[in-house]
Chains A and B, each alone.
Chain A
Amino acid sequence: MRHLKKLRLLSSSALLSASIVTMGFSSIAMAGKATVALPSGELGATSYDPIRSSKLNTATSLIYDRLVEQDADQSFHPHLATSWTESADGMSWTFKLRDGVKFHDGEVFNADTIVSWIPDFKDTENAFLVAAIKSVEVIDPLTVKFVMERPEPNLLYNLASTFMGVPGQKSYDSLGEEYGVTTAIGTGPFKLTSFEIGLETVVTRNDDYAWASDLSSNQGAAHLESVTFREIPDQSTAFLELKTGGIDLLLGVPTDFLSILKAEKNVGVITMAGTGISYMPINTTSAPFDDIKVRQATALAVNQKSILENVYKGVGSEANHFLIDTLPAGDVKKELLVSFDSAKANGLLDKAGWAMGDGGVRMKDGVPLQVKLFTQNDSDLKRLTQVVQAQLKDVGMDAVITVFDSSTIRDEYKKNAHQLAVRSYDWNNADILEWFFSGTRVGYPNVSMWTDEKSEMLKDTAMTKSTTSAERVANFKAYHEHILSSHLFVPLYQPAQNIAFNKDTVTVPEKVRGPRFRSQTFVDIDVVK
């Protein structure tokens, strides 16, 4: 694994040499066909079964439609459900279903589909998505009622997940565990034609498609006849494929590559808001970070603006709290936002008894302020960690970096061997706070090792005691503010999502709807005429 990371780093260097070579483009998006390279995080999916899989990719969103769709601003839009109502006590949801929708195998989509589909999640890794639903009742052929175990204001978010794409029930029931490998039946704008694990997936247009959501301009069948999704692990190779016309669209372009891509006359680049942040959890159980003053000083010593400008050339945005900007629970009190203040950081360390030593490292009772800073063997995270190390040095904290692979580092967290760590997450929901700071997940994923009575109370309220969506936002905001006031982490950076395409072969809508580049945009993509 370390070798592969090294390879990626070195191949990136070779990429620079590639950029000086003059090349032309050849048009391959002929006859309405387009080839797309999947982002590195989506490689290795082994099935298109949305119910049983733990990993899915963008192609899944083209095969299956969802009851509701989410936009980038976190709003929800009708899709297979045309409207919905939630009871005042949150104990039931009624969904009106779209008429005239058919699965790829001709099966009709209606209320019976939903009644059969929801119980399929039982005992799967994705059961948590429907855990709050007690039963599904048919009101009429196009109306269903979800009777809830408890109010679940996050239900729409779950229903908009790729994992809740609705599969054809006849096919799903008859194929069992084999479903999703050779056959995947949805109502989506494209049908699965072939799937070679680890290599490529080909989907062809569903000519009957006439039920796109309002996130797409094109309300009919997709313009493209077929889309081939390729799995190319090396980013340099994927970039060269784009340059030579081997692919038309490159999803998940690393920010490092943007300047090279933008210099290419025929490459278009779309930058969308990201769905996660990079951050540095602080182990609250390990001295000197058991002292809140040291934790706060550490948070104030990191310069987010400098990271954005110098490491990421201004692409993305500053992170000043734990959630992405579009989440309303991130709208916290201004005084709780974390931003660089060197003077205050130095003052807090002085107050905590850590006096500046001769070598620029603070000392207390003859012990230097030397801390362990862990990171993963990923070139982007390593570079970010080195910058953080230098910024901590400026306030007299000597952070010693240790690099681990992604599996080993989790064991180190569980062993409580860390003090600081540079990490990132990709999740556009406020419940990420529970994932990383819950007292029931100490070690991993709660790398801050945080256990606190008030936190647990606020978490429980946010997670299970909110009745309406507005109440949920307010509860998560209160939980978020408590976490910020406890100084459990340092926000570092909000990455953007970058997509590059060959302007000679395909046209892509200027404004991309949805939190990610998915089916709602693919139905609008056309070939250059």
Chain B
Amino acid sequence: MILKYSLQRLLMIIPVSLAISVVIFLIVHLLPGDPIDNLIRVGSSPEDRIALSAKYGLDRSLIAQYFLWIGQVMTGDFGQAIVLRRPVADLIAQNLPYSLQLGGLAFLFSSIVGIILGIVAWASRNTWGEQLVKGFILLGSTVPGFWLALLMILLFAVNLGWFPVSGARDWTALVLPVLTIGFGGIALVARVTRVALLEVGKQDFITLLHAKGLSRTAILFRHLIPHALLPVVTILALRIGWILGGAVTVEFVFGRSGLGSLLIRALGQRDYPVVQGSLLMLALAVMIGTLIGDIAQAAMDPRIREATK
């Protein structure tokens, strides 16, 4: 049953991807700006500009350019960057490991700590413990990432000297960026977990379990958490796309590479093939994340499986 459901959802990715590719292509090409302006240098002639435009196919109609690009993508070729002068697939492949490393660790860190904090906040409701966690959640939701990044650098790298200020040389350089990104994620996950636990806790079957004399711990771990994790899993699944492209400002402050930084740089230079390739990758990551979330939900909740019959 799960297999059939998964297959149905997987097939839906194809038409959605095609629709997204059209939207991405149009948005990128309708933005004001011209990549050739970032390519020509003082001394080159106006004829060089025309020749460059033709070389990169920018003199063709938008429709022709789209079909050329999507045709290439379907064969696994993301094309050649205009300004960055490298195959787009190479640029993405070079930046992807940095994004996966940073985003993946921050995702794990924020998920685990966030769920634990959410449970602590729920378990200590109506006490100072809950207020403490709620305060942390508020702080985590509102503190801008780049500001937190600079504070982290000042405290842990400059004053205490525990970690390097920036770079990506070894694991020590990962600690501060992971903590910075994770901080915001923790707040989100903890908030969703706490609210979900409160909601599930109000339901009749929980009251019945209490009436039957089950211990609070048993109710929490056997009944409450499995039910409350449904919305948490949805939120976490949606954040899989964010793993790849959501760390732009932190990458900027900590001097790291990554897909987000590549996208921003390429967007500033209107390097169309790179922007299109990176956005398509991010869109795919979000779709796959959503798919994983849906499958996980279906696995955890029989009502969803039944609904698809």
Contact = CB atoms under 8 A, between A and B. Distances in A.
B32 A7 contact: no
Given A46-B86, A240-B153, A232 B37 contact: no
A408 B37 CA distance: 11
Interface in B232-268: 248-249, 252-257, 261-262, 264-265, 267-268
Contacts of A14: 147, 150-151, 154
B150 to A, nearest CB: 4
Given A244-B157, A444-B37, A4 B86 contact: no
B54 interface: no
A125 B270 contact: no
Interface stretch (A95-103, A300-308, A427-435): A427-435
Contacts of A11: 146, 150, 253
B129 interface: no
Contact of A407 (B84, B147, B159, B270): B270
A232 B167 CA distance: 8
Contact of A128 (B48, B94, B255): B48
Interface in B35-83: 37-46, 48, 52, 81, 83
Given A181-B86, A241-B166, A128 B46 contact: no
B167 A54 contact: no
B79 to A, nearest CB: 14
B85 interface: yes
B20 interface: no
A47 interface: yes
B41 A125 contact: yes
Given A54-B83, A240-B153, A432-B42, A405 B268 contact: yes
B226 interface: no
Interface in B135-186: 146-147, 150-151, 153-154, 157-159, 161, 164-168
A197 interface: yes
B155 to A, nearest CB: 9
Given A14-B147, A407-B37, A412-B32, A21 B257 contact: no
B44 A128 contact: yes
A407 B146 contact: no
B252 A234 contact: yes
Nearest to A435: B42
B42 A431 contact: yes
A406 interface: yes
Contacts of A246: 164-167
Given A234-B253, A240-B153, A7 B262 contact: no
Interface in A5-32: 7, 10-11, 14, 17-18, 21, 23, 26
B21 interface: no
B158 A244 contact: yes
A199 B150 contact: no
A244 B84 contact: no
A503 interface: no
Nearest to A44: B265
Contacts of A54: 38-39, 41, 83, 85
A270 interface: no
Given A46-B85, A246-B165, A125 B39 contact: yes
Interface string A411-422: 110000000000
Contacts of B158: 18, 21, 23, 240, 243-244
B136 to A, nearest CB: 22
B249 A7 contact: yes
Contacts of A21: 154, 158-159
Interface residues of B, number: 55
B111 interface: no
Contacts of B264: 1, 4
Interface in A170-221: 181, 196-200
Given A125-B40, A231-B255, A411-B34, A197 B153 contact: no
A408 B33 CA distance: 5
Interface string A137-181: 000000000000000000000100000000000000000000001
B91 interface: yes
Contacts of A232: 166, 255
Contacts of A181: 86
A116 interface: no
B150 A236 contact: yes
A198 B43 contact: no
B269 A407 contact: yes
B297 interface: no
Interface string B102-130: 00000000000000000000000000000
Given A54-B85, A198-B261, A232-B255, A408 B159 contact: no
A7 B146 CA distance: 7
A324 to B, nearest CB: 13
Contacts of B6: none
A233 B42 CA distance: 25
B95 interface: yes
A265 interface: no
A485 B299 CA distance: 78
A4 B249 contact: yes
B105 to A, nearest CB: 18
A233 B265 CA distance: 11
A364 B220 CA distance: 79
Q: Which of B81, B154, B158, B166 counts the most A-chain CB atoms under 10 A from its CB? A: B166
Contacts of B48: 125, 127-128
A427 B42 contact: yes
A46 B166 contact: no
Nearest to B95: A198
A440 interface: yes
A23 B147 CA distance: 20
Nearest to B255: A232
Given A198-B265, A230-B166, 7 more contacts: A3-B248, A14-B151, A125-B52, A197-B86, A233-B252, A241-B165, A407-B33
Interface of B: 31-34, 37-46, 48, 52, 81, 83-86, 91, 94-95, 146-147, 150-151, 153-154, 157-159, 161, 164-168, 248-249, 252-257, 261-262, 264-265, 267-270
The 3 closest A-B pairs by CB, nearest first: A407-B33, A411-B32, A232-B255
16 contacts: A1-B264, A11-B146, A11-B150, A44-B84, A128-B48, A158-B43, A196-B94, A199-B255, A233-B261, A237-B253, A238-B166, A240-B154, A246-B165, A407-B269, A411-B33, A441-B46
Interface of A: 1, 3-4, 7, 10-11, 14, 17-18, 21, 23, 26, 44, 46-47, 52-55, 125-129, 158, 181, 196-200, 230-234, 236-238, 240-241, 243-244, 246, 405-408, 410-412, 427, 429, 431-432, 435, 440-441, 444
